[in-house]
A = this chain, B = another copy of it.
């Protein structure tokens, strides 16, 4: 498992992984306590409510999402963002197909392990 990504990570040359139905994940730049991940959602795809010890910030590149954080739901669109404190429950439902840019600190080693296992 590489401690960090290359300095430059080209989207077209980087593997994608099918996750829950309608969700495709691509690990972008990572290392030194931070990891960036691009997630493509089909309409209706559900990122189930979950929690983890990592801090998370997220940017809505495109589409529309109903995002729930600690029981509060908001509709987010392009240019919007959210921040999830460690161990806070959160999830997202895709209302219009789109892309989220998720960033975690520290690195999601579970994501790297899952990618290696495929």
**Chain A interface (Cβ within 8 Å of chain B)?**
4-12, 28-36, 38, 55-59, 61, 67, 69-70, 72, 74, 76, 78-86, 101, 103-105
Contacts and interface: CB of A to CB of B under 8 A. Distances in A.
B103 A32 contact: no
A5 to B, nearest CB: 5
A81 B34 contact: no
A39 to B, nearest CB: 12
Given A8-B67, A8-B76, A83 B29 contact: yes
A85 to B, nearest CB: 6
B59 A38 contact: yes
Contact of A7 (B31, B78, B79, B82): B82
